[in-house]
Structure 1
Amino acid sequence: MTEVFFYHLQGRPLEAALPQLLEKCLERGWRCVVQASSPERVDSLDQLLWTYDDAAFLPHGTDRQGEPARQPILLTTDDANPNGATVRFFIERATVGDIGGYVRVIHLFDGGDPEEIDHARAQWRAAKAAGHAVAYWQQTPEGRWAQR
């Protein structure tokens, strides 16, 4: 079964948390796909991953660029998996399709947005009903993650 993790963003925004989580995935040798809810958000994430840290590099591309299968991290609005990712990230209420082919699925949601909280709760119920292992992670005041 797929592990489904829910990351409740409270103290730090998505722009600070996502690169950190992607780095950890790449350290484990996992390919990732990040599904956003709009092409504009894909563009902003593309820019973020090039500029978030002067001392770091996250190899990535978007599904609108050539050869998405070669990207260790692929940014998209689509539910396809052209880069053979083992980890799928869903942000900002992106539409969730079949998650059975992934080692891990990660939902990042803004704790200050009631619609994102409701969406995360619905995804939690759906993942549990499908028999997936689910876990909830919450940001501490120091910006670390604690499993609840």
Structure 2
Amino acid sequence: MTDVLFYHLQRQPLEAVLPTLVEKSLERGWRVAIEVPDRERLAALDDHLWTYREESFLPHGTQADADAASQPVVLTASPDNPNAAAVRFLVDGATLGVEAGSYDRIVVLFDGNDDEALAEARGQWRVARDEGYDVTYWQQDEQGRWQKKA
């Protein structure tokens, strides 16, 4: 059964949260696909994952790379799964697709300070729940720790 986790971003932007969550996935031995809505956002996140921290980076590639299949993390602007990922991150409005059930985990990250993104996430929650996925909702507390709310 696929788990679908919704992360309500209010205290930190996507660029601060995504690398940490991807690192945790890699520590568990999972391959990761990160889906974005367009190639412009893909290029921006690609650059960010190389430079988000001075002392480290996230090894990754993009769907356009010849060796995408061998990458632990792949950024994609389409619903494909070029590296046979077990975990898929959906960011900036990327939506659950028909292939959602082929993943161990889907992580939906949404900006809780954006009314449109919030409404979109609510719609995705209903779809995931109605499809029978195990859905959970996570929100940061005052100290920045993620708390399961539903």
Equivalent residue, structure 2, for 1:97: 97
* Runs of 4+ residues over 3 Å off in structure 1: none
User: What's the % identity of the aligned pairs?
Assistant: 51
Q: CA deviation at 1:56?
A: 2.0
Distance in 2 (CA, whole Å) between partners of 1:92 and 1:9 is: 11
CA contact (8 A) 2:34 2:74 kept: yes
Q: Look up the match of 1:48.
A: 48
Q: How many residues align?
A: 148
1:61-114 CA-partner distances (Å, limit 9, x unpaired): 111122210110000110000100000000111132120000000000000111
Cα deviation for residue 6 of structure 1 reads 0.1
Distance 1:114 1:64 in 2: 32
The unaligned stretches of length 5 or more in structure 2 are none
1:92 & 1:116 partners in 2: Cα distance?
8
Is 1:82 matched up with 2:82? yes
Corresponding residue of 2:10 = 10
- Deviation track 1:34-63 (CA, whole Å, cap 9, x = no partner) reads 000111110010011000112222110111
Tell me which moved more, 8-17 or 133-142.
133-142
- Equivalent-residue separation in structure 1 for 2:115 and 2:87 (angstroms): 26
After TM superposition, the score normalised by the length of structure 1 is 0.97
TM-score of the pair, normalised by structure 2: 0.96
Maintained 8 Å contact 2:95/2:124: no
The corresponding residue for 2:61 is 61
RMSD: 0.8
Equivalent AA in structure 2 for residue 145 of structure 1: W
